[in-house]
A and B are shown apart, each in its own frame.
Chain A
Amino acid sequence: MDAILSILIFFPAIAGFVGFGIKQSSAKIYGIAIATIELLLALVLWMKFDNTNAGMQFTEQVSLISDFGISYNVGVDGISLFIVIMAALITLLGIILLRPDTKNMKNMIISLLFLEMTMVGVFLTLDAIIFYLFWELSLVPMLYIIGAWGGADRVYAAVKFFLYTFAGSLIMLVGLLSMAYLYHEANGVWSFALLDWYTLPLTENQQFWLFLSFFAGFAIKVPMFPFHTWLPWAHGQAPTIGSVILAAVLLKMGTYGFVRFSLPILPDASVTFTPFMMTLALIMVIYTAMIAFAQKDMKQVIAYSSVSHMGIIMLGVFAMNAEGLGGSVFLMLSHGIVSGALFMLVGVIYERTGTKIMDEFGGLAAVMPIYATVFGLMLMASVGLPLTIGFVGEFLVLVGFYAVSPIGTILAGTTIIIGSIYMLNLFKKSFFGPVRHEKNLALKDLDNRELSALIPLVLIVVWLGVYPKPVLGPIDNSAKYILTQMEARAISPATKEAIILSKKEAN
């Protein structure tokens, strides 16, 4: 299976095309089957993955536009491997959780399969233009999912989501094109291949501007403060499946972009911008956590808490050491699993009651004990309770970040406190106390469909919380590899110092 990465990328899309011919009534089971195959393929990739190799594996290259240096070029390393597996898993569970009576089920399944192609493609591709291609293409199915199955303001939210990201990525495109130009100036040939770009020396001034242009694309996607305003809208209006995939996978594209593009290509600028990025990330962490506390809508609480945790990921990425970077990649996974699960859980109660306002509930723990247990567990994982998946990443990031700024770490650490406040507040209001509405007494607990979507996530939360090594090992390897590369390429001594310093601690 030499072409396993291409199969992983294009299988869902081809299946999506074939899906046009499937009857409406069998659409869901078709989706489940395809997503299962995709997940199995991703797991096969993991089995064949060489844990000792920190570089790119399973690489494939096909030249597409040779005069302009664009080629189809894919590869996987420890960082992308697990994000791809997570994307496949979340897509599968999301499809399982779809209500059988969803209108236009076939269109939903087809869009999800196309979305899966673009998600897997973004994380596996090693060519800047093909990356951009999947990056932009991912907006289209999401636009449709939010716009067609969302809430009352769905069209506004969908268009806002699309345009915001589109505008940012066009600025990023200018950066990519300048990068290719600089490469052409230096080597006389055009290339958009990331592995080529990693070898290109750039002056600090060039790095500065390139960093800003990449920042425009990635920061909007993450979304970093102050570009986060599209996200609450998107989450507020999106259907459950939309929110799940948006929070679990699409936001990771932004942080992944920083890890794959900004850090290794622009090491000096990354260090120069570290204070700026950290300030933004800290504001994002604390400010959105406070907003989360002020929300009445359960889904908005989770949406803002998800942004807040994305801030911690950003802190880790720019900590410039192995703990920080590795921890933030791990946190991307755990954030995907946990926030995906939380959005699923909100979707479950919304389907039953038609509301997401916390004050409407109360006492659900007695009515729906299993639901309350799963919710409680995910909530703890989100807050970062030890022995859950959330703890590992968050802890590593904070450890890594401590080497850079102890005060910042204390500030970032408050998010755990604020996080527990708003999360426990949510839990208290919804699950304890008296049942506020009579009709809520008759609510059914989780049924088989919902359980089969949620149990795997529960198991992963506990498993990786207790024993993260199988995942953390390869991530750590690749993170160290990226840092070594950065250090080797850095031109200013200050940069080298910023990176080496933390590497010593890593050993």
Chain B
Amino acid sequence: MLEPVNISLESLNLVTLMPMLIAIGGGLLILCIDLVKDNIHKSFYVALTVLILLIDLIATMGLTFGVTERGFFDVMLIDGIAVLSQVIIIVASMLFIPLALTSKRFHEYSYPEFFALFMFMIAGFQFMVSSDNLILIFVGLETASLSLYTLIAMHNRSNSFEAAVKYFTMGALAAAFFTMGSAVLYGVSGSLELNQIATGISDRLNEPGIMILLLGGAGLLLTAFAFKLSLFPFHTWAPDVYEGASAPLAGYMSVVPKVAAFVVSMRIFEMFINLQIEWVQTMIIVLSVITMTIANLMALVQEDVKRMLAYSSISHAGFVMVAIALATDKSNTAVFLYYTLFMFTNLGAFAMLWVSRHKSSVHHERFDHPYEKFSGMIKVMPMGAVIMALFMLSLAGVPPFSVFWGKIYLMSATVDAGYLWLAVVMGLNSAVAAYYYLKLIVYMFLKEPTDTVQQDITYYNVSKPLMVIVGFAVLLTVFSIFMVNPLIEYISMMLENSSFGI
């Protein structure tokens, strides 16, 4: 006979669950509304989603955080990076969801389930980043991923299904690696809490043969996150999935899941690195160097702008992965700074693709966004061309646009840690990357327009909300220099109040 368990509500500290509950509640609310009334226009759902996310954001920012703030059987861990990354995730979601308000109808947005799934996905990411329990991280990861696969498939084209299935298969494999890695760590340390794992490992660090176990554990986990972060050699799914997904979702995928995965990587791998297990660091550095180089080389030969942007996101992820290997305060700050700044630019770039998205293939039989689509755009639509060029220059790391500041901060962190050669490699990679971003600028500014480059064809999908979002992205990209200091201050403050990597 089991003893009845008595748990006081106080000890659960339910307030730590508040943000996720808001997101989940919002999702359920949307489903309930759908039960009551049919055929509500998507603008209603978009507005509702944004408003719920706003409440979520305020609730998140209102959380007290510190080293000891735990809740729900101590599996929740609300520390600085949990709050910080939740803020980034929610802000990114609030910026991406209004892209649903296109002037043309798209299949997925006519279903309220789309918005409900979107909310569940956010809740999943929020769980993922605010825990140091491997099981809860896993649950969060899977909740988010499963919702994301469905969202991709809802775009309702054959290559969207292909993308979703591809992503799903890869994601399932990654999940398997994650569980096996966790199992090994559990075997080594007898716990699933990262802080206890750390103590467990450090106690046994001198035992013979322990390194083989750790190699298994860290290796398997690294593989899992290499899938999620699309690091070489597990990056092959990314371009196809980005191509199959709708542009806003692709842009979303290049930021939010990666931020979440980076936070978890930070918690896991910086623990290993701080335990002085050096080969983890070496492994991550090698992975990141190969990732950025290979992705850059692949991006050079792409014929489709969206695929190019997919490879470019892979390369940016490889770039940021360096920060995980360095495991210093500055490099951790750089991760968040980089992704915050990258988010605005990438939002803009994908929104511009979305604006020009057609239902039929008017430009190219294989690709939606071939380079030719933007040929000579400066002559026909100077404003659009200049805006797109701004985003490309920003992605290439030309100052003073946003990504540049993330880039130099990260490179500076690399230099500080004594990895000068790595900083040079990162620099040279940025130079290679400049070529493919430049290729689009060359098409837009230096080529003659083709027949299909016309106002009403290229701006097929444009609507006021989209223009607002693009304008917002332009402002933040151009004037980012004034945001960098407050951002660094906020991020460092949050990081100081974090407990990870012991």
Contact = CB atoms under 8 A, between A and B. Distances in A.
Contacts of A139: 398
B408 A170 contact: no
B485 interface: yes
Interface string B415-427: 1100010011001
A174 B430 contact: no
A71 to B, nearest CB: 10
A167 B488 contact: no
B278 interface: no
A432 interface: no
Interface residues of B, number: 37
Nearest to A67: B488
Contact of B415 (A129, A140, A143, A174): A174
B474 to A, nearest CB: 13
Contacts of B297: none
A66 B486 CA distance: 10
Interface in B428-447: 428, 430-431, 434-435, 438, 441-442, 445-447
A180 B489 contact: no
A177 B423 contact: yes
Contacts of B431: 163, 166-167, 170
Interface string B389-410: 0000100011110000100110
Contacts of A64: 481-482, 484-485
Interface in A150-202: 154-155, 158-159, 162-163, 166-167, 170-171, 173-174, 177-178, 180-181, 184
A174 B411 CA distance: 7
B378 interface: yes
Contacts of A467: none
Interface string A123-165: 0000001001100110110011001100000110011001100
A184 B492 CA distance: 18
Interface string B203-219: 00000000000000000
A68 interface: yes
Nearest to B407: A173
A133 B399 contact: yes
A140 B399 CA distance: 11
Contacts of B489: 67
Nearest to B482: A64
B446 A177 contact: no
A68 B379 CA distance: 41
A155 B408 contact: no
Contact of A107 (B378, B399, B442, B447): B378
Interface in A89-137: 104, 107, 129, 132-133, 136-137
Contacts of A68: 409, 412, 484-485, 488
Interface string B455-489: 00000000000000000000000000110110011
B446 A158 contact: yes
A67 B434 contact: no
B378 A155 contact: no
A181 B438 CA distance: 31
A65 B481 contact: yes
Contacts of A144: 445-446
A148 B376 CA distance: 10
A154 B446 contact: yes
Contacts of A107: 378, 382
Nearest to A147: B446
Contact of B428 (A136, A154, A158, A167): A167
Contacts of A167: 428, 431
B400 A148 contact: no
A170 B445 contact: no
A181 B416 CA distance: 6
B399 A137 contact: yes
A136 B431 CA distance: 12
Nearest to B422: A174
Contact of A178 (B400, B420, B492): B420
7 contacts: A67-B489, A104-B379, A136-B399, A139-B398, A144-B446, A158-B442, A167-B428
What 9 pairs between A and B have smallest CB-CB spacing?
A: A170-B427, A167-B431, A133-B399, A147-B446, A177-B412, A65-B485, A174-B423, A177-B415, A67-B488
Given A68-B484, A155-B442, 4 more contacts: A137-B398, A154-B446, A170-B427, A177-B411
